[in-house]
């Protein structure tokens, strides 16, 4: 009992480690004025089935970075190759040679062009296949997700939905953009590595709201309900505006409570979080650029 009281006093102390980073609560700062364009995202925590009635982006964590598929490869690949004037010139010259409008034989004109285009398109196909394989590896990674009855089970990343409660363990990547609810530290502290997002190797400090600290075990999520109203998907890695409605109170949210997809949990045994953005709505995918096309010279 004495030890518990000591820990409680330390937790309330302003001298506690990283205490200056503790997020504001409803008592110290009012909720954000979430209204108007750009602030339409509503997340029903621990109720992913609610989002099944919304657009597919709400319930799909599947990502794809490929440029082509089986149907679009030939038309898109030819379009990319003939975006260069040089290829159009040689194509016109080859057509003219077929009708004896050129001093060169048709074979001498068509064969080099066909060889260059064939090699370039084959290279495009191989590179796109490698992107597809990498996407499949990411989409089939396993995460620990709440089953809805106080127990957690394994689920593939691509099957994670907005509103799911996810448990991430040490040295694992976050499968989607999450609102941090609690961690293995009693004050909701956790450390995150964001090297895949911004190239920085130093660890970032994240801390949950005090209101969700009691959610520290699998069983505590059996009856957990809440609602998040926040900004729409955007590429800003260092900003976030939203409110968390929980236990008849409204708490303002900021980036210190947000765990971004593809960042990694460090020096923390585990954290619990609720999914806000999935798939191409996540901030890392919002910042992704389309793979460049290799066009024949």
- Whether the Cβ atoms of residue 231 and residue 39 lie closer than 8 Å to each other: yes
**Phi and psi, residue 273, nearest 5°:** -150, 155
Most confident segment among 57-71, 86-100, 112-126, 253-267: 253-267
Q: What is the pLDDT of residue 10?
A: 39
Q: What is the pLDDT of residue 48?
A: 73
Kindly report the pTM of this predicted structure.
Answer: 0.79
CATH classification number, 17-61+160-286, choose in 2.70.150.10, 1.10.10.60, 1.10.260.40, 3.40.190.10: 2.70.150.10
Angle at 289 between CA 283 and CA 292, to 5 degrees: 165
- Whether the Cβ atoms of residue 166 and residue 261 lie closer than 8 Å to each other: no
pLDDT band at 49 (very low <50, low <70, confident <90, very high): low
CA–CA distance, 89 with 19 (Å, rounded to integer):
68
Q: What is the pLDDT of residue 53?
A: 56
Averaged pLDDT for residues 132-160: 94
- Residue pLDDT, tens place only, 209-265: 999 999 999 999 999 999 999 999 999 999 999 999 998 899 999 999 999 999 999
Q: What is the pLDDT of residue 189?
A: 94
Q: What is the pLDDT of residue 52?
A: 56
Task: List the end-to-end C-alpha distance of the chain, in Å, as a whole number.
Answer: 76
CA–CA distance, 110 with 164 (Å, rounded to integer):
57
Angle at 187 between CA 183 and CA 192, to 5 degrees: 50
What are 227's strand-pairing partners? 44, 245
**Phi and psi, residue 52, nearest 5°:** -65, -25
The pLDDT of residue 104 is above 80? no
Nearest to 109 by CA among 96, 125, 122: 96
Averaged pLDDT for residues 53-71: 77
Conformation bin of residue 167: beta by default, left when phi > 0, alpha when psi is -120 to 50: beta
| Domain ranges across the chain | 17-61+160-286, 73-137
CA-based max dimension of the chain = 100
**Phi and psi, residue 218, nearest 5°:** -60, -40
CA–CA distance, 3 with 189 (Å, rounded to integer):
20
Instruction: Report the residue count for the chain.
Output: 297
pLDDT band at 83 (very low <50, low <70, confident <90, very high): confident
Averaged pLDDT for residues 165-183: 96
Would you call 279 exposed, middle or buried from its count of C-beta atoms within 10 A (0-12, 13-18, 19+)? Answer: buried
Averaged pLDDT for residues 124-144: 94
Q: What is the pLDDT of residue 72?
A: 86
- Whether the Cβ atoms of residue 96 and residue 90 lie closer than 8 Å to each other: no
Share the mean pLDDT of the chain.
82
Q: Which residue has the higher pLDDT, 25 or 249?
A: 249
What are 242's strand-pairing partners? 230, 253
Q: What is the pLDDT of residue 23?
A: 45
> Which residues, at least 6 apart from 228, have a Cβ–Cβ distance to it below 8 Å?
41, 42, 43, 45, 179, 242, 243, 244, 245, 253, 274, 276
């Amino acid at each position: 009992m004495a030890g518990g009281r000591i820990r409680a006093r330390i937790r309330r102390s302003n001298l506690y480690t990283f205490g200056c980073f503790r997020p504001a609560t409803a008592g110290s700062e009012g909720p954000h004025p979430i209204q108007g364009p750009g602030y339409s995202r509503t997340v029903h925590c621990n109720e992913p089935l609610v989002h099944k009635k919304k657009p597919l982006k709400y319930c799909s964590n599947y990502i794809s970075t490929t440029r082509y598929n089986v149907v679009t490869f030939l038309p898109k690949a030819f379009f990319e190759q003939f975006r260069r004037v040089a290829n159009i010139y040689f194509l016109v010259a080859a057509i003219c040679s077929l009708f004896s409008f050129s001093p060169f034989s048709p074979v001498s004109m068509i064969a080099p062009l066909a060889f260059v285009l064939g090699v370039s398109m084959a290279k495009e196909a191989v590179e796109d296949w490698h992107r597809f394989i990498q996407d499949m590896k990411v989409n089939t990674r396993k995460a620990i997700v709440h089953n809805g009855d106080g127990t957690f089970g394994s689920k593939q990343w691509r099957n994670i939905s907005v509103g799911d409660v996810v448990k991430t363990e040490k040295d694992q990547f976050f499968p989607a953009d999450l609102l941090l609810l609690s961690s293995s530290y009693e004050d909701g502290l956790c450390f995150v590595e964001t090297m895949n997002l911004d190239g920085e190797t130093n660890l970032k400090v994240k801390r949950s709201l005090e209101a969700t600290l009691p959610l520290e075990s699998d069983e505590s999520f059996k009856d957990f309900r809440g609602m998040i109203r926040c900004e729409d998907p955007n590429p800003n890695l260092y900003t976030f505006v939203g409110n968390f409605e929980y236990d008849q109170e409204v708490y303002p949210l900021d980036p210190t409570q947000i765990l971004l997809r593809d960042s990694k949990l460090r020096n923390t045994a585990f954290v619990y979080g609720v999914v806000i953005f999935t798939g191409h709505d996540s901030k890392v995918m919002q910042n992704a650029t389309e793979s460049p096309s290799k066009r024949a010279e």
